[in-house]
Chains A and B, each alone.
Chain A
Amino acid sequence: MGTAIQIQNVNFAYGAKQVLHDVTLDIPDRQVTAFIGPSGCGKSTLIRCINRINDRIPDARVTSGSIHIHGIDIHRPDLNLQELRRRVGMVFQKYNPFAKSIYDNVVYGLRIAGVTKRSELDEAAEKALTNAALWNEVKDRLRSSATGLSGGQQQRLCIARVIATEPDIVLMDEPCAALDPLATLKIEELITELKKKFTIVIVTHNMSQATRCSDRTAFMYLGKLIEYGDTLQIFENPKNPQTEAYITGAFG
């Protein structure tokens, strides 16, 4: 099994405030890797480094270390940033479909990539919505506004929107934080399904979610990677006392 993302000695700072300290981990291909840890531990920052979406925040930058995706350093000056983000999709904590129709949302990524052929767009939209387990619910109202959907449907639409461009890696930043338990369950089922096709990195606050749907788990605390290993091992037999304290609910 190959390595999809290689994170090496990454230090990251918002201005003078350092939030990631020397984080090193390899994320395997075609598996689900979960980042867990208390609020403010840097797990969201780390996931946002992988598609360089942090770039838009002034003064926020990786101060040292490197991130390679399938062997390519994503900070090299001649990197095609748009292509990187097409290969590394992202689902956000708060579902954020555009206030456009469902169809326009799904094909957005293809359209900005320059696809204009109607049949191609239709096909991609159906495929993405089917893969996101949303097709049956919305196939009769593709032209109606995405904001009319329920929260869970909106988040699945966001996932469909991301996978429509067929990325290699899908980053999910607490995708269920704004959803009720039933909608969460659907997303989790979806994640299990999606990992056949994509490498998935998921940030979660919910430890049972990590056990349910991830293969590997990384526990972070105060900007440092404390422990990283197979999910079963982390939750049943943590090596680090801090990890144990966190997963048993002693803090966080």
Chain B
Amino acid sequence: MFDPDKLIRKGLPKGYFKDILVRSLLGGITYLIVLIAVLLFAKIIIDGAPALFTSKFPFVDVEFLTAKNETLHVFDDAQGTRLQLPASKYSEYLNAHSGESIYNEQTFSYSGGGIAGPIAGTALLTVGSMILALFFGVSAAIYLAEYAKQSPFIHAVRLAILNLAGIPSIVFGLFGFSVFVLAVPVITSTPSDRTLLAIPLLINDWVLSFQGWNSSLIAGCATLACMILPVIITASEESLRAVPQGFRDASLAMGGTRWQTIRKCVLPYSLPGILTSSLLAITRVAGETAPIMFTAAVAAKDDFPWQGLGNPFDILSSQVQALPYHIYTLAARIPNSEYTQRAQYGSVLVFLLLVAVLSFGSMMLRAKMRRKLKW
């Protein structure tokens, strides 16, 4: 027998306190995470801002961004004023005040001057590895999505590529070191002593020598590209598959070849998706330290990568500084003090801003493309 009065509850709803408890616990955890993120950014911004920003126009410490990295000299001058000067200014000072003596001198490696070298290096590494990764990754994705038949073998290939994504970056670093730095073949007339195998080409005195690219920009780019290939391939394949089948049918049915169809009716529409995936990849490439430690990065370098080259292509074989590696050097390889903080937190802040700008840039590009290509 249905008793309508039973619809009216007596007392609190069932599980009232339990619900409140669960709700506040879950909410608390969420806000704790947010708090940690906020603290992290606040710490970086508060400590990094003095290095990067100034109170006077143009409000940004241009020198920090454009000057080369130098050793910082800290000392008391004859009047007892504590001075902080990067190495080049320090020697100027000594020349100008040759008669005077200085006291309590301390030096801090890598902490003076600016971080133009690491910024340039990171930019070069990012651009180079993205070009490599997009070329190879998108090619592989087109093959997998458009040409390959769905067989167990292709399934295994795809699985192998996915597995690549799970490999720790330090392993990629070692792989890059043993392959790109030490083993890949180069054509040269003067093979190195440690070449693994040298095959004479019988043209001039050229030799195909398996001696690697040494620690260089190109070796670093190749290593980073290997690391992000799985991300690019998987995401590109997905966005290729997301293009309506009708486009392919229509193009083929009008007498388009496979490649015409892909180039005109599939690739343009999957580009926004591919860019989204490369956005993730860009931030990863710019941020990784381990893969470039053995393959491309140096802690100190007097010239910019493009300076002092015989021909423009030599830039590929020059070593570079890089922001993440610079931060690692500043944090772990030199003693910490109040004088090194400027360089440390400044670098971190610049690094974060750089990644943010890169991400924002690709986001805008993607939005623009998305607006143009809508179906």
- Partner-B contacts on A (CB < 8 A): 51, 53, 56, 58, 82-86, 89-90, 92, 94, 96-99, 108-109, 112-113, 145, 147, 158, 161-162, 165
Q: Which of B211-219, B257-265, B317-325, B334-342 contacts A (4 or more CB under 8 A)?
A: B257-265
Q: Closest Cβ of chain A: how far from B154's Cβ, in Å?
A: 11
Q: Which of B97-105, B241-249, B343-351 contacts A (4 or more CB under 8 A)?
A: B241-249
Interface string of B238-280 (1 = CB under 8 A from A): 0000001011111111111100100011000100000000000
B150 at the interface (CB under 8 A from A): yes
Q: Closest Cβ of chain B: how far from A197's Cβ, in Å?
A: 17
Question: Are A96 and B255 closer than 8 Å at their CB atoms?
Answer: no
Q: A96-B247, A99-B374, A147-B375 are in contact. Are A83 and B255 (CB under 8 A)?
A: yes
8 contacts between A and B (CB under 8 A): A58-B150, A92-B246, A92-B250, A96-B247, A98-B251, A98-B265, A112-B260, A145-B374
> What B residues does A94 contact at CB under 8 A?
246
Query: Per DSSP, are chain B's interface residues mostly helix, strand or loop, or mixed?
Result: helix
Number of A-B contacts (CB under 8 A): 66
Q: Closest Cβ of chain A: how far from B370's Cβ, in Å?
A: 11
Question: Are A161 and B269 closer than 8 Å at their CB atoms?
Answer: no
> What A residues does B246 contact at CB under 8 A?
92, 94, 96
Question: Are B249 and A112 closer than 8 Å at their CB atoms?
Answer: no
Question: Among the listed B149, B247, B256, B374, which residue makes an inter-chain contact with A112, where contact means beta carbons less than 8 Å apart?
Answer: B256
Question: Are B257 and A96 closer than 8 Å at their CB atoms?
Answer: no
> What A residues does B254 contact at CB under 8 A?
85-86, 89, 108-109, 112, 161-162, 165
Question: Are A112 and B251 closer than 8 Å at their CB atoms?
Answer: yes
> What A residues does B260 contact at CB under 8 A?
112
Q: A98-B265, A147-B375 are in contact. Are A51 and B150 (CB under 8 A)?
A: no
Question: Are A56 and B252 closer than 8 Å at their CB atoms?
Answer: yes
Question: Are B255 and A92 closer than 8 Å at their CB atoms?
Answer: no
Q: Closest Cβ of chain B: how far from A100's Cβ, in Å?
A: 9
Question: Among the listed B150, B251, B375, which residue makes an inter-chain contact with A108, where contact means beta carbons less than 8 Å apart?
Answer: B251
Complex-state Cα separation, A145 to B150, whole angstroms: 34
Beyond the given A83-B255, A108-B251, A161-B250, could you list 7 further A-B residue pairs with CB under 8 A, ordered by the A residue number? A51-B253, A53-B253, A92-B250, A92-B253, A94-B246, A99-B269, A112-B255
B356 at the interface (CB under 8 A from A): no
> What A residues does B255 contact at CB under 8 A?
82-86, 109, 112-113, 165
Complex-state Cα separation, A94 to B112, whole angstroms: 66
> What B residues does A83 contact at CB under 8 A?
255
> What B residues does A109 contact at CB under 8 A?
254-255
Complex-state Cα separation, A86 to B257, whole angstroms: 11
